[in-house]
Structure 1
């Protein structure tokens, strides 16, 4: 509901790279792994390059999770619900299980997850894409991407860059530290030791050639300031070649496919056997600029998400390029510093592990899409049954078109894994889930969802609320453990719940509903023209100049300009008994609803954009237990606020609310789950990333709006 309250009860019917441009074997596979030509999978022995080492590391150890499939797996709870005054903590099941020890190196399980009772259905949930043709020739220079907007959205690092011009003026080099001497090419003899004139070469290049290395103005300024402050001494190179930090950077770029990125975007031409100082300086700046590009891509994304639609309005944390250079050049563990730019949410790490697993398991399986049609029920005879059998791996004669019990059981298991009612009926939702992986798109879905994790603010708040729109669920998360979860109703495709983050501030009990203009224009005005008293019978008053007027005295054919519509508190109020406020420009919030029967449906996209919450008193109890701890806001005490006039109850501690859109995630049982792309946002993400075979981002051209 976009300010939107709700109107009516919604209805539904139904490595270091080689110096050559040609790459072979594992290197070529690696580069194709995340290109717009598709994500390839590896076969054969996985040794000899940074990607395979990283993939093996990711799939080499088990994750400790609690019995609910979430939390830290520690014997001591991270959150004591009873001491906070909570009577019911929900199921403590987050969308994904969580890493056992935040301070330990992150290693993930290598063994396959346990498959459910219907192996064909479970394997169908892990369908992998068919291999694509590999690119043998790659550009000698890294392609520079535009990345997320540079306007400091989200909680950006202090000093985050802003602005991005296509042809910026190259900034003058920053002043060196006091007492430092600016080297020049003329001041150092040509016969000096190898590397002696690198500072002079860097001075010249930074002075007038930075646009060759990055078109991003903020990054140019950061490079000039960074090298100026260190007297133009190199950090990624040294002596006659690559310094240890430079090799770590090259390894990170080459293994970037494990982060769902495209290694071709971070290629740096190799140094010759005996490089000149000019070549060393070139390599120094290329490594530095590519480090900035990599950090920006892996932390805040490869394109501006707002190009998808007005309802895609997240707050990615664009890294401050000066802070990036300072971090990687001074950190005791440079590799850990590089890895810190990736999203630090446990759910992202689990997707990362699934990506590594799928990329190392071998050839993918492709399935034909099952065409639409009437719901398929047990016993039905339907020509689509052979396709359904093939999709779920259930044997049968090609001409066997009977939906028999064995196939029904496989469908039920598939439905369970995809979060649907396991009724064995292949309706619209089940068909969409089946077809989500039918084109061999599993890897692409993981990459697209990892990209959307970069849109969530980078700092992981100790407490946050997360609504996963395609899952129709909301969770209250403390220390990466879900302490409460419940079902929600989200916006219809034509009234989408926005993707965004803001801070939860207060709750309102017995709210009035001020009807937003869009609902007045599109839904209420036609009713008033047919029957001036239609809204009055629903408890909605027509207000002009602060006074309630007789709707029969207005000629509604002239429009509703100058009139407002308000529904007083009460049982019929579209907001129900309470709403939970995180003020935002989209005017959406979480709230109760009188249309409670909708929560029993699997597909719950019925609102005007706001998020309707099942069992709102239980949600309010959990919310105030973490937002106003120790104050004893039990359900019983909160229920005394229900009834009468509107009342506001502020939270003592504010925390973020993330409205997110993850169609592929790992659930509490460790299963990789895919949900229906109800708004088409996942498809748009894949298209912009070029996962459909056409590259649209991370190149020198502008990103294209998806069509």
Structure 2
């Protein structure tokens, strides 16, 4: 190309020197024809041997400088045609000097730039062209999520639309790994029917079919990664009192990670939760299904199979039967051991299909149709299996890293249905205790992940609005002295809002210690004067907060994790008990994870089940069975309920504190009153309130 472009420059220079250039001769037209036109294919550039030397052409003695008055090389390369330097057929053209790169690559005006050669192998180019067309016109059919569609388009563009999963029509190692993982999705508590695997063998001879299969497998892979990491439903579908941090997949990362991995199956499996308790549940799920480490039998899609009895007395029975290579798998799936390798869809197979259809509420026709195949591939269900699956699903909602790395991956995990709290560090249990949790219904303890920032010794109980407006104010209408008898103080702001609090002391509803992890649900962990409830097996009695059986020990454990050199003991904590609030702030906050595990594996390796006290399992099983959670994109807002102010005046006998607080910006809001500021400077206590001491390290 460089030689050809320079040839153009010299030819045009000679042409300009003649006032009336003659028409090209046949020989000169032959020269034009000898110059190859640019094509997408890899055509080698012309060399000096492709042209005869021209002894009459004038060449500049300085190859780096064009003759005076000549056209610039860049302009020459853009000329629409080649002008001859002579019409003498006996004269030849000399080889021009080598042209610069700029001269060689400049496009001709009015023509498209020369396309770079494709890196796609010739065998895959037809499929690549179809993939290019399908991504331009049908991408939303396969990828309805905007971020995934953009990532897929970018990934295919980066490889010139070469197919991801095949080479020359044959499956790659990555494709085989992905297909294996998708077919074993039931082992992960997922449904293989949600991740269909296209039939590449049937598509091998048709570029259109191969391109579509490539996109479908990409779609199924992304669906699996997303649901394995974040769940098949969003937690907001289950209840308004659940809030965990979002951790969606990055589709670009998934594509690069899985296609570039040595083991694509393991790479895709890596999007499942890494937690030990999740993996133990997965092993128990396999035991419940009776499949051990083996993969479930999957019946491929195909034509409908129907048994037809032989007609006539002398007609052979075998002649009336359909045959299909899927029948041996079908026999194994339905428990037919006789003639296990027989491919005929005989009377026994049809009867077994009919019985299966009745068990899953399908019309018992005995015909193996698409709906029956899908039902056969849906994992076996029973109550225990369903319970394990929804608990595996809830593990997908939790953060991948439960603890804080700076303090040995320490964290607190509380299991509501088991009424237990555990402190974990470096993968081992450090301490555990019993807890009391919220009542079912309106006072259920929320599921959340937050960080505990400090502990308050001798806390003031600032009564939540739900209790004030739903319980205490109605009680005041019946007995105006009830708050005084309970040791509670009522204050009314200028805007009419009510604040009720209880000062520190032995009778305080929060006991002697409060554990603060500020959250939108306004719940925390605390001590309690009602110790008798810890002796019960079922302990759902609170208004949503979590009561801890041994708060002095709990406080010492947490403080020693965050400040090991201080050597806190339960005795040291108890020595702080008094009438003034004391905040002990953590240099490193400790993550707190409130969970709902109705099925878990204990330390002895035994599968344990607990009562579904809040009905979370039932809601989730219904969503999964009806497939209502697969494509949810909208997250339900979680706002605290609005409580209307009391209508009319309070009863005349109600004792309202003289130090009624202002609703101005300088006063602490309810969130600050409840959690003590959460690490912010403590606001000055109103006159008459107990003083607060703050300990920071």
Larger Rg, first or second structure (1 or 2): 2
TM-score by structure 2 length?
0.58
1:487 counterpart = 2:416? no
Deviation at 1:357, TM superposition (A): 1.0
Contact 1:241 1:280 in 2 (8 A): no
1:542 counterpart = 2:484? no
SS in 2 for 1:195: helix
| 1:497 aligned residue (434, 445, 452) | 445
SS in 2 for 1:454: helix
Partner residue, 1:569? 504
Separation in 2 of the partners of 1:660 and 1:290?
Answer: 30
Partner residue, 1:357? 287
SS in 1 for 2:387: helix
Separation in 1 of the partners of 2:633 and 2:450?
Answer: 32
Separation in 2 of the partners of 1:665 and 1:213?
Answer: 37
Deviation at 1:196, TM superposition (A): 2.1
SS in 2 for 1:487: strand
| 1:675 aligned residue (598, 602, 610) | 610
SS in 2 for 1:612: strand
**Any idea what the Cα deviations from partners look like across 1:43-78, whole Å, max 9, x if unmatched?**
xxxxxxxxxxxxxxxxxxxxxxxxxxxxxxxxxxxx
Partner residue, 2:526? 591
Deviation at 1:188, TM superposition (A): 9.8
SS in 2 for 1:490: strand
Separation in 1 of the partners of 2:402 and 2:259?
Answer: 24
Q: 1:251 to 1:472 in 2, by over 3 A?
A: same
Deviation at 1:288, TM superposition (A): 1.7
Partner residue, 1:532? 480
| 2:622 aligned residue (684, 687, 690) | 687
Separation in 2 of the partners of 1:616 and 1:204?
Answer: 66
1:333 counterpart = 2:263? yes
Separation in 1 of the partners of 2:474 and 2:560?
Answer: 44
Q: 1:631 to 1:216 in 2, by over 3 A?
A: same
TM-score by structure 1 length?
0.57
Partner residue, 2:224? 294
Deviation at 1:561, TM superposition (A): 4.5
Partner residue, 1:578? 513
Separation in 2 of the partners of 1:591 and 1:702?
Answer: 35
Partner residue, 1:243? 172
Q: 1:192 to 1:646 in 2, by over 3 A?
A: closer
Partner residue, 2:630? 698
SS in 1 for 2:565: coil
Separation in 2 of the partners of 1:703 and 1:466?
Answer: 25
Separation in 1 of the partners of 2:116 and 2:606?
Answer: 64
| 2:190 aligned residue (261, 265, 275) | 261
Partner residue, 2:455? 507
Partner residue, 1:665? 600
**Any idea what the Cα deviations from partners look like across 1:147-176, whole Å, max 9, x if unmatched?**
xxxxxxxxxxxxxxxxxxxxxxxxxxxxxx
Q: 1:606 to 1:465 in 2, by over 3 A?
A: same
SS in 2 for 1:282: helix
- Between 1:324-333 and 1:653-662, the stretch displaced more is 324-333
SS in 2 for 1:642: coil
Deviation at 1:570, TM superposition (A): 0.7
Contact 1:346 1:480 in 2 (8 A): no
Deviation at 1:336, TM superposition (A): 2.3
Structure 2, unmatched stretches of 5+, are 1-104, 106-114, 293-380, 404-408, 637-697
SS in 2 for 1:338: helix
1:603 counterpart = 2:603? no
The structure with more helix, counted as a fraction of residues: 2
**Any idea what the Cα deviations from partners look like across 1:494-538, whole Å, max 9, x if unmatched?**
200001111121111111111111101121112211221211111
SS in 1 for 2:567: coil
Contact 1:298 1:342 in 2 (8 A): yes
Q: 1:666 to 1:513 in 2, by over 3 A?
A: same
Partner residue, 2:348? none
1:467 counterpart = 2:467? no
Matches within 5 A, 1:552-563: 561-563=496-498
Deviation at 1:574, TM superposition (A): 0.9
1:281 counterpart = 2:211? yes
Separation in 1 of the partners of 2:633 and 2:255?
Answer: 26
Separation in 2 of the partners of 1:294 and 1:485?
Answer: 36
Deviation at 1:572, TM superposition (A): 1.2
Separation in 2 of the partners of 1:700 and 1:611?
Answer: 31
Deviation at 1:613, TM superposition (A): 0.7
Partner residue, 2:329? none
Deviation at 1:460, TM superposition (A): 4.2
Partner residue, 1:653? 588
Separation in 2 of the partners of 1:627 and 1:520?
Answer: 36
Deviation at 1:237, TM superposition (A): 2.1
SS in 1 for 2:424: strand
Partner residue, 1:203? 132
**Any idea what the Cα deviations from partners look like across 1:592-632, whole Å, max 9, x if unmatched?**
11111111111100000011111011111111222223321
Separation in 1 of the partners of 2:129 and 2:584?
Answer: 63
Matches within 5 A, 1:81-230: 193-230=122-159
Matches within 5 A, 1:9-20: none
Deviation at 1:187, TM superposition (A): 10
Partner residue, 1:638? 573
Separation in 2 of the partners of 1:248 and 1:349?
Answer: 21
| 2:425 aligned residue (478, 481, 503) | 478
Q: 1:194 to 1:607 in 2, by over 3 A?
A: same
Separation in 2 of the partners of 1:237 and 1:637?
Answer: 68
Separation in 2 of the partners of 1:614 and 1:520?
Answer: 26
1:617 counterpart = 2:565? no
Matches within 5 A, 1:386-535: 440-461=382-403, 462-494=409-441, 495-535=443-483
Q: 1:658 to 1:702 in 2, by over 3 A?
A: closer
SS in 2 for 1:257: helix
Q: 1:478 to 1:275 in 2, by over 3 A?
A: farther
Contact 1:316 1:458 in 2 (8 A): no
Q: 1:309 to 1:697 in 2, by over 3 A?
A: closer
Deviation at 1:192, TM superposition (A): 8.4
SS in 1 for 2:566: coil
Contact 1:344 1:460 in 2 (8 A): no
Structure 1, unmatched stretches of 5+, are 1-178, 180-185, 363-438, 547-559
Q: 1:324 to 1:606 in 2, by over 3 A?
A: same
SS in 2 for 1:585: coil
Superposition RMSD on alpha carbons, in Å? 2.8
Contact 2:203 2:213 in 1 (8 A): no
Deviation at 1:457, TM superposition (A): 1.1
Separation in 2 of the partners of 1:200 and 1:214?
Answer: 19
